[in-house]
Amino acid sequence: MAIADWYESEPPLHRVLAAELQRLKRRAQARWPLVVVVAVALTAAVVWKVARKPGQYRARVVLALTEGELAGRGDVTPLHELRDYVGTVLLSNAALLELVERRGLFARARAQFGDDYAVQLLRDQLGIGVWRNYFQYSYSYDERRTARIAIAYVAQDPDHAYEMARDLTSIVIAREGERRIEAARLLAEQARGILDAARAELAGVRAELNAEVAALAEAERRGEATAVAVHRLRAAELTLAVTRAQEAFFALEQTTTGGALQAAATAAGLALELTVVDERRPPRVERPLFVLVAVGVFALGLFLPLAGIVIGAFDTRVHDLEDVSRLELTALGHLPPFPGDDVGALRGRGVPRRAVPSWWPWRWSR
């Protein structure tokens, strides 16, 4: 027989599968009480697991980020940059670790895997959203730019989720204030340094001019015409240099004064305003009964055929002629139905229990 003929002689796979499922169905029907008990037990386990599973509650606090009255021309800030700034700069790993230590969160995981793993667990339950970000447009004198920042936290207890969201919001506001103060301090120090350098340069030019004026007077007293001409030319150059240095110093003083004012405004919180505009405390909601009923119906519809297939496949009893043929035995005939043929055990048919002990046949077989 050719390979193609042998392949064509095989029955289709879907027919074989359907026939096998029908056979398992007939075998499962012979033991339907056990199938029902197993399916109901599995369904009850699933429903109990779903009923005992704790819910997830999401608390949210919304912040409004607004330019102050004295804010300068800020750079354009896209959504992802503002989100990264809040998530990595304001909510840094050090700040989150301090929160974990203060609240005693993830104690077991922290003891087993370290502080970094505890911080990562906290970040997994933390969410940051940014929308209505007008900082991604250019500065306008007519209207101040604003943005909305949402700090969300997910936990199994609604009160804990709300408290954590508020704590994270407090950290964001406090860290932003510290950053503004630090930026103001650095700007003031930089302005003082530039102004001191300009003042020192002006003082040096003035000292050189005074020295040249004194030398010019000494040369005139001695009557040295050549020296007088040289010192007079040098004094004129230094006078012009002093004038230029004074102009530069006064202009720089005004600039640094404006910078100091801007730094003071930033330090006072007038350049950027970060305020809470909305809070959402999640309500405590019990799992509805219809959800458990729906889960039970779905699980029962799934486990009932699966239990029938498994029990029918591992049943070692012979139920019909097909079971005999699968054992490669030749069926010579069959008995017609008779009263009591559906009773499986001899005890059920009225045969009394034997009175001979179980060790007695073993004794005579020696």
Task: Report the residue count for the chain.
Answer: 366
Question: CA separation (Å) from 41 to 28, 46, 311?
Answer: 17, 9, 14
Contact assessment for residue 127 and residue 83, using Cβ atoms and an 8 Å cutoff: no
Q: Within 13 Å of residue 39, how many CA atoms lie on the same side as its CB? A: 23
- Give the pairing type, strands 272-280 and 146-155: unpaired
pTM of the model: 0.56
Q: What is the pLDDT of residue 61?
A: 92
Q: Alpha-carbon distance 22 to 19, whole Å? A: 5
Q: What is the pLDDT of residue 364?
A: 45
Contact assessment for residue 141 and residue 264, using Cβ atoms and an 8 Å cutoff: no
Q: Alpha-carbon distance 141 to 67, whole Å? A: 11
Contacts of 68 (CB under 8 A, 6+ apart): 144, 265, 269, 270, 271, 272, 273
Query: What value, to the nearest 5°, has the Cα angle with vertex 317 and ends 314 and 319?
Result: 110
Beta strands per DSSP E along 118-210: 126-131, 146-155
Q: Is the dihedral of CA 338, 339, 345, 350 positive or negative?
A: negative
Per-residue pLDDT of the chain (366 residues; tens, 9 = 90+): 455 555 556 667 767 677 777 777 777 777 788 888 888 999 999 888 887 777 788 999 998 887 755 455 555 566 677 788 888 888 989 999 999 999 888 888 888 998 999 999 999 999 998 887 777 666 555 567 778 889 999 988 888 999 999 999 999 988 888 877 777 777 777 777 777 788 888 788 888 888 888 887 877 777 777 777 877 788 788 788 878 877 777 777 666 665 555 555 555 444 567 788 888 888 877 777 888 889 889 988 888 888 888 877 777 666 666 666 666 677 776 667 767 666 655 555 566 655 545 544 444 444
Q: What is the pLDDT of residue 346?
A: 57
Q: What is the pLDDT of residue 185?
A: 73
Q: Which residue has the tokens 């009225």?
A: 350
Nearest C-alpha neighbor of 161 from the set 127, 119, 116, 131 = 127
Contact assessment for residue 181 and residue 91, using Cβ atoms and an 8 Å cutoff: no
Q: Alpha-carbon distance 145 to 139, whole Å? A: 7
Q: What is the pLDDT of residue 341?
A: 65
Q: What is the pLDDT of residue 366?
A: 46
Q: What is the pLDDT of residue 269?
A: 47
Q: What is the pLDDT of residue 220?
A: 79
